[in-house]
Amino acid sequence: MEFPRAQFIFVVLFACFLASQVFLYTRARNYLKRRVRPQTYRAVLLGTTGLLLLGVLYPLAWRTLFGMGPPAPLVLAVRGLMAVWVFGSGGLAMVLIAWELWQKARRSFMSSSPPSPDLARRAVLQKAVGFAVAAPFVVSGYGVMFGRHRFRVEHFDLPVNGLSSSLSRLSVVHLTDIHAGPFMPAEELAEYVEAVNRLKPDLIALTGDFVATRRAEAELCVSALEGLKARYGIFACLGNHDAWSGAEEKLTRLFEASGVRMLRNDAVSIRVGNTAVNVLGIDDLRIGGPDLDRALQVAGQEPGELRLLLSHRPEVFPQASRKGVDVVLSGHYHGGQIKLGTSPGSLSVARFMTPYAEGLFRLPWRAVAPARNARDSMLFVGRGVGITALPIRINCPPQIAHLTLRKA
């Protein structure tokens, strides 16, 4: 089944954002006309519009003049303020629209001779509206200043049919979408490394998007992750940002030198007790030249009891299940970065892009691969630890996923 492309979703969201800005501009202009002198009104309106335009254009101008070098602190600050404004102003527009609709509905149901106004009630309503107006900006500010930093270690069981005792309770730590760069510096990555090592995992899986925008960010990421430790090894695949930035070969070389096995349409067999696990990895599904069949061929040379696939994007899941993959680990969507609620199923932008936005998914073997040995396929999609586009997370904290295999 085809799902809308991300570009289409972004166009729709951008159109909604522009509509909200036009709405707010119109309301601000009408308010100023009523409350201030014409000269002051024009000066305030022009000044505010100019500042907003400068805020939007400053990062673009920096990139045009100075290229993709390290952003200046002012660029980072402006991007943070932009994130607060984008989501705060959108929330403000919705509050004002709801208020105006309520006022119109109230007037339409009132009698021709309305009762005397209740001043106390009006004051309470005005305060409530004031809080509602401020709330979107407070929430957005929290998402920029704190929400994107306060990661969680979350534990999940992966039940696998017929799993042997040797693999039961095998633990895998999953990290994805690191986006090393301006909003994921080395000192912050070091905190993730410490948290992962405290879990003492058997395996560590890294599923792509190691850099944000620049090839040079590969060194930052790899050097920060060199401290990761796992009993049976650390394995990785590449993501779309790694390809866009031209960092694929560099990341592969640096990770291999640091002891991390980069799986590019490849597989490796690792011994666990008296059995084995095949760990497979493919390149990004859209721009990385993925070849699942090749990875499966390599895995077939030393077949293991369980096949674990690393794929940056989760849409490979149905195909992987049909081909006998037991567990798929993915990321890419960041859980949407902004959600209406805290549960994995809460509404977010990612929900319009994919059926696999976040969390655990299962495909029954009878529905997709009746010839297999009565084993379901599992997919886990992580929220990631970094950010992309705007530096904000709301109801969607960065995630270290601690996955434990269980016999179903």
What pLDDT digit, counting tens, does each position of 257-299 carry?
999 999 999 999 999 989 999 999 999 999 889 999 999 999 9
- Examine the domain organization and report whether 306 and 372 are in the same domain: yes
- Examine the domain organization and report whether 224 and 125 are in the same domain: no
Which CATH number covers residue 294?
3.60.21.10
Q: Which residue has the higher pLDDT, 253 or 50?
A: 253
Lowest pLDDT segment from 133-137, 171-175, 196-200: 133-137
If phi > 0 it is left, if psi is from -120 to 50 it is alpha, else beta; for residue 389 that is left
- Going by pLDDT thresholds of 50, 70 and 90, the confidence category of residue 17 is confident
What pLDDT score does 174 carry?
98
Is 384's pLDDT higher than 80? yes
Q: Please give the model's pTM, rounded to 2 decimal places.
A: 0.84
What does DSSP say about strands 399-407 and 306-310: parallel, antiparallel, or unpaired? unpaired
- Examine the domain organization and report whether 357 and 232 are in the same domain: yes
- Examine the domain organization and report whether 114 and 249 are in the same domain: no
| Residue % of the chain over a pLDDT of 90 | 53
How far is Cα 290 from Cα 157, in angstroms, rounded to an integer? Answer: 28
Mean pLDDT, rounded, of the chain: 85
Which phi and psi angles does 342 have, rounded to 5°? -95, -15
- Going by pLDDT thresholds of 50, 70 and 90, the confidence category of residue 110 is low
- Examine the domain organization and report whether 215 and 284 are in the same domain: yes
Rounded to an integer, the average pLDDT of 365-393 is: 78
**Which pLDDT tens digit goes with each residue over 224-242?**
999 999 999 999 999 999 9
Q: What angle do CA 372, 376, 380 make, to 5 degrees?
A: 135
- Examine the domain organization and report whether 116 and 202 are in the same domain: no
Q: Domain boundary residue among 147, 178, 200?
A: 147
Residue 324 structural domain: 152-407
Is 1 within the bounds of a domain?
Answer: no
- Examine the domain organization and report whether 93 and 231 are in the same domain: no
- Going by pLDDT thresholds of 50, 70 and 90, the confidence category of residue 73 is low
Task: Provide the token pair at 342.
Answer: 């805290």
Q: Which long-range contacts (CB under 8 A, 24 or more apart) does 251-255 make?
A: 251/210, 251/211, 251/218, 251/221, 251/222, 254/218, 254/219, 254/222, 255/222
How far is Cα 144 from Cα 368, in angstroms, rounded to an integer? Answer: 42
Is 294 within the bounds of a domain?
Answer: yes
Q: From residue 387, how far is each of 52, 161, 208, 306, 384 by CA, in Å?
A: 23, 35, 13, 32, 8
Q: DSSP string covering 144-208, please?
A: IIIITT--EEEEEEEEETT--TTTTT-EEEEE----BBTTB-HHHHHHHHHHHHHT--SEEEEES
For residue 347, give the DSSP letter.
-
Is 287 within the bounds of a domain?
Answer: yes
